[in-house]
Amino acid sequence: MPAGHYGWILECGEVLVNAGSQTQAAYADFRPNTAKRELREELSKDSQGQVAELPSGALDEPAHVRLERLSQLPPLLIEAGAYCRLIREARDVFVDGHFYACVAMCGISFERFQRDKAKPYGAKRKDNMEQIRGMLQSVLSPGTLSLCESMAALRNKYAHGDGPNPKEDALKSLAWMHSFIDNETNLMRNYVVVNGILNRKFKH
């Protein structure tokens, strides 16, 4: 099976969700759930005095450490878009322990979302991010715009080699990114699971 699959289930990538009479493209990343399950299984084996079988590659830098980092991230079910592959890369480099790169990728994913969101309002490639955010004042919530500004400032520090606390700031960047997702693109705000199937909530 391709990377990101478990059996016949897609764990990470573009999926379709039921939106009433139509389907809607979405992006899912359920790998953190798998990481938590694998860590629980290892802990259970250890507690029974058995030798835990770690995934292949665990003898390099322990794969266990990567699983722990992955388990710290929330699962995602979000609106599909070009920014999704950037979000995946930001999360992947964090799991791999590349914290400078994580901060940079979080900043890049924020920027891509803002530029895509501002296109219908006349945004041009040459516009700087301050101009882009000006166009989005009435589109994004104040909380989201504040996150975008904070992320831009932190990303600039790392882009110029001035980041003092890479691991802590990578976690902070990911927390901001997940808050941003909750504010703007988290599909679980609008969906509910019915009989094991994800369905759009309808307003009465």
| Mean pLDDT score across all residues of the chain | 84
Please tell me the chain's helix, strand, coil percentages from 3-state DSSP, rounded to the nearest 5.
Answer: 55, 15, 30
pLDDT of residue 16 exceeding 90:
no
Sign of CA dihedral 19, 188, 147, 156: negative
- For 8-26, what is the mean pLDDT? 78
- For 13-23, what is the mean pLDDT? 79
Q: How crowded is residue 32: how many other Cβ atoms within 10 Å of its Cβ?
A: 21
pLDDT of residue 33 exceeding 80:
yes
Task: Look at residue 63 in the predicted model and tell me its pLDDT.
Answer: 79
List beta partners, residue 77: 28
Question: Which has the minimum average pLDDT: 5-9, 95-99, 103-107, 116-120?
Answer: 5-9
Residue range 65-90, pLDDT digits in tens: 999 999 999 989 898 988 999 999 99
The domain spans of the chain are 5-30+75-200
Higher pLDDT, 42 or 116: 116
Task: Look at residue 56 in the predicted model and tell me its pLDDT.
Answer: 42
pTM: 0.80
Percent of the chain with pLDDT over 70: 79
Task: Look at residue 112 in the predicted model and tell me its pLDDT.
Answer: 95
Residue 60, helix vs strand vs coil:
coil
- For 104-117, what is the mean pLDDT? 95
Residue range 129-180, pLDDT digits in tens: 999 999 999 999 999 999 999 999 999 999 888 888 999 999 999 999 999 9
Residue range 36-59, pLDDT digits in tens: 888 888 777 666 555 444 444 433
Q: How crowded is residue 103: how many other Cβ atoms within 10 Å of its Cβ?
A: 28
* Residue 44, amino acid: S
**CATH number of the 5-30+75-200 domain:** 1.20.120.330
Question: Which has the minimum average pLDDT: 27-31, 59-63, 104-108, 163-167?
Answer: 59-63
